Amino acid sequence: MPASIAEYVPQFVSESEARARRVRAWCAWGALSMAATLLLSLIALAPWARAHGHQSWAAVVYAGFGTVCHQMPERSFALFGFPLAVCARCLGLYAGGLGGVLLYPLVRRLEHGDVPARGWLLAAAVPTSVDFLLGLSGIWANTHLSRFLTASLVGAVAAFYIVPAVAAFGRRRRRLRRQQGALA
């Protein structure tokens, strides 16, 4: 069955539209880079705030990250004598994610919405899974560093799925606004 006219994708894109797509893609990448940097900064802010007497700030940051991380002090790196707002594994996910986002434009074009095959993400999760399972079984005593490094790989690879999704979200939103304007 042929697609409806609303689903039609033009085969020719004018130079001005191509330039606008590039600008929007770079804006989406910049916003995502800033958000990832902010998240990583907040992780370090919690122990800094606690060490410098800003207990309410620290409590808010720890509570916020407590919704996504167990925050066990014995599994967390410390800064200023206090544990970071997330465990070593979660820190690896965030740090790897930021690294992947920052490296993305060096590896792939931002305005292209294609993502790698899902198998790459699954393959990136294997070292973390092995580290976790060996630690759980008592065969291997995983460390802060092993948790951090294996999770960093997952975070970096995940960025190659997140960046195109964020850029595509902006494209879809703009397309919907144009369609709504045409209907009005």
Distance CA 32, CA 30 (A): 5
Res 135: pLDDT: 87
Res 95: pLDDT: 98
The predicted-structure confidence for 67-76, as pLDDT tens digits, reads as follows: 999 999 999 9
Asked, for residue 4, whether it belongs to a domain, the answer is no
Asked, for residue 133, whether it belongs to a domain, the answer is yes
Res 6: pLDDT: 64
Residues of the chain with pLDDT under 50: none
Asked, for residue 7, whether it belongs to a domain, the answer is no
Res 113: pLDDT: 78
Count of domains forming the chain: 1
Asked, for residue 33, whether it belongs to a domain, the answer is yes
Site of tokens 């790459």: 120
Alpha helices in the chain (DSSP H): 15-51, 55-66, 88-107, 118-137, 144-183
Distance CA 142, CA 139 (A): 9
Res 14: pLDDT: 77
Asked, for residue 5, whether it belongs to a domain, the answer is no
Asked, for residue 128, whether it belongs to a domain, the answer is yes
Let me know: does 47 contact 78? Beta carbons within 8 Å: yes
Res 121: pLDDT: 95
Res 12: pLDDT: 65
Asked, for residue 8, whether it belongs to a domain, the answer is no
User: What H or E segment, with its residue span, contains residue 78?
Assistant: strand 78-79
Asked, for residue 22, whether it belongs to a domain, the answer is yes
The predicted-structure confidence for 31-68, as pLDDT tens digits, reads as follows: 999 999 999 999 999 999 999 999 999 999 999 999 99
Residue 54: domain span: 16-183
